[in-house]
Structure 1
Amino acid sequence: MKYKKIITLSIGIPILLGGCMNLDLGNHDKNGGKTEANSQAEYNQNLISVQDYTGQGYELDGGEETTKIAEAHREEIEKAVKTFFLDKYKTKVKVHHIVGALNAASVFVESEGEPHFHTYAVVPIDVKAEEVLTDKVWSQEGQVESAINSGIYAMVFDQELGKLDDYLAKTAKQEPVVGMRQEAVNNVMASGFHTIYYYITTFDDSLDKVYLKYLKNPNKSKEEWKREIKHSKTDPESFYVTIHLFMEKPNTEPDKSIFDQIVKDMENMEGLAPGQYSVFLHDNTINKKAGSNSQENTLERSDPTYIMKD
């Protein structure tokens, strides 16, 4: 079975869902500096402290009308999406957030138990008739499959990821940095296995077999997955671990000394899960409409200079 792989190397998935990602503040039209200043002011109005962000204000293009319709039919949508995941992906999910999009509602879900992951489904909406088409629920090709694979990866390399968890939690205690709130992860993130500090995405044709094995036996234990995957050849270039940290205090620029130390620690750390690691250190803000921080002051170590672990 072949399907298109989805790699998400920044917070959230607004591009995949048609979200508000027009962050080009340098609008070079005839109004020049005035237009740019207005765009910057509008952008700044959407910034919120990461500690206060739970997903409020998240928007997708074309969602003005459909949001109201989706809210009026929330119970129907939740039931349809849960049935969709159980029938197609053999997975029970919790519905966290429903966001109106163009002629549809995007539904953010979290799997129950393991493999653990966050993803989304789409429920079409007939705006004119104000009806939700619960018999036509769909998901972007490869999106859920990749999310399931990332959850299985996290099961197989649980001890190695536990080392990363401990390091990031310790760093957050010792340094003035924080991760996202769990509520924000639940409500607007759909990248697969996701913690408050990082998420995992996968990109490997060989993982098609893993997904198919999961469909045949979704109750396979962690030990069984480890026997099948961990001791076989694992290509670290097939896995991406993306770390996002934020400054703890408002109106604080990303601290380069903290960032450099984290990068150095990651480079020298042994016993991590195989993969290509990226590190981002943002200021204290997040764009509530997009669920991400895309400001120019962000410090990053990423493509093409990933931190490789094998």
Structure 2
Amino acid sequence: MKFRWVILVCGVSFAMLMSGCLGVTDKQQSVSKKKEAGQSNPDRSEGMYESVLTYTGDGYDLPGGEKTEEIAKEHKAEVVKATKDYIKKTYKTDIEVHNMVGNKDGVTVFFESKGNLHFYSTAIVPINVKEEKVISSGVWTLEGEVEGAICAALYTLVKEEEFNELDQLLQTFPSQYPIAGRTMQSIENVRGKGHITPYYFIQATHLDEAIRPVYNLYLNDPDTSIEKLKEAYLSDKFDPEFFTVSIHFFMKEKDAQPDREIFDEIVTAVETNQDLPAGTYSVYLHDHYVIKNNAAAFKDNSLSRSSPDHIRKD
């Protein structure tokens, strides 16, 4: 099963690179940008960064998307309809479209699910630039992305009490320490990565044997009751490697560096709380800023507890 997981990850990564739609990881993007600038601490006055407290996704862009984004905005209703129709037909889910960002071959559409199942994801709508035409019949998604987002959302239903505990725990930190999370606008507009809150996002895969029956049941009948979805879950098949929780906090003050004591307190709280959902956890504390053109948070001064030293809860 782990071999199949490796294949999935490689396939998704390859699709991302080839499509030019979602770019590379936060850390890779951050390091790459700094190398291009020729400095380890770029001057924030140059407009590369924005406060996490005000960032809404403005300035986010994808390679070669200027013209396609312009066409997409002129045909917004058509793009939205094509995306909604595709997701409804393929994944039996109603959605709300929040944002459109041009890419080399079309437009990446950021959307949020509606109803009991809550997740964020993206779809790609092709555009013929020469004819300035939206190709409504050609909508597609990155392999495994929406499937994984659905599975992540299903986990929040299956493990409702544990996720309530996680939400309550993480919500206490900004009241105790000078730290903050992302804005809801930025989550809606540019963070199509599964089930997301201002403080964390979770990812899963439909290859996970524990959640797969729940996923299949949902696709067969999206109106299936939460009770029946919970009954379909195979807890004895659960593998923490298939379910990840990424926790991200930011320093609230503009000039503050990530605080080691605060970071250690968060890590300890996550490690010692036995009521949180089982899974693989990563914890990050960043300075006050995000990179505007890719929504990345990770920088050289970020503090992290992640792979291969992540927190594992069985």
TM over 0.5: yes
- Partner of 2:85 in structure 1? 83
The letter for the 2-side match of 1:108 is F
Q: CA deviation at 1:224?
A: 1.4
Report what 2:156 is aligned to. Answer: 154
Instruction: Report the identity percentage.
Output: 37
Match of 1:126 in 2: 128
Aligned partner of 1:309 in structure 2 is 313
1:233-272, Cα deviation, whole Å (9 max, x unpaired): 3222211000010011101100100000111111111111
1:31 matched residue in structure 2: none
Contact 2:214 2:232 in 1 (8 A): no
1:171-194 deviations in Å (ceiling 9; x for gaps): 111111111011111110111111
Aligned partner of residue 304 in structure 1, secondary structure? coil
Q: Is the 8 A contact 2:20 2:103 kept in 1?
A: no
**1:198-229 CA-partner distances (Å, limit 9, x unpaired):** 01111444244433222111112222122221
Q: Secondary structure at the match of 1:300?
A: strand
Task: Report the secondary structure of 2:232's partner residue.
Answer: helix
Q: CA deviation at 1:27?
A: 4.3
Q: Over residues 257-295 of structure 1, what are the superposed CA-to-partner deviations in whole Å (9 max), with x where a residue is unaligned? A: 000011111111111101001000000100010111121
Residue in 1 that maps onto 2:237: 233
Secondary structure of the residue aligned to 1:138 is: coil
Contact 2:194 2:202 in 1 (8 A): yes
Is the 8 Å Cα contact of residues 247 and 254 (structure 1) preserved in structure 2? yes
State the match for 1:188 in structure 2: 190
Distance change >3 Å, CA 286–CA 189, structure 1 → 2? same
CA contact (8 A) 2:30 2:299 kept: no
User: Does the aligned pair in 2 maintain the 1:192–1:199 contact within 8 Å?
Assistant: yes
Tell me: CA distance 1:164–1:39, structure 2 relative to 1, closer, same or farther (3 Å): closer
**TM-fit CA distance, 1:231:** 4.5
Aligned to 1:248, which of 249, 252, 269? 252
Deviation at 1:95, TM superposition (A): 0.2
Superposition misfits of 4+ residues, deviation over 6 angstroms? 13-16
Displacement of 1:26 in angstroms is 6.1
Matched, 1:60 2:68: no
8 Å Cα contact 2:58-2:292 kept in structure 1: yes
Counterpart among 165, 173, 177 of residue 171 in structure 1? 173
TM-score of the two chains, using structure 2 as the length reference: 0.88
Alignment of 1:1-310 (within 5 A): 5=8, 17-19=21-23, 21=29, 23-25=31-33, 27=35, 36-37=38-39, 40-41=42-43, 45-203=47-205, 204-206=207-209, 207-229=211-233, 231-310=235-314
Aligned residue pairs total 298
Q: With the length of structure 1 as denominator, give the TM-score of the two structures.
A: 0.89
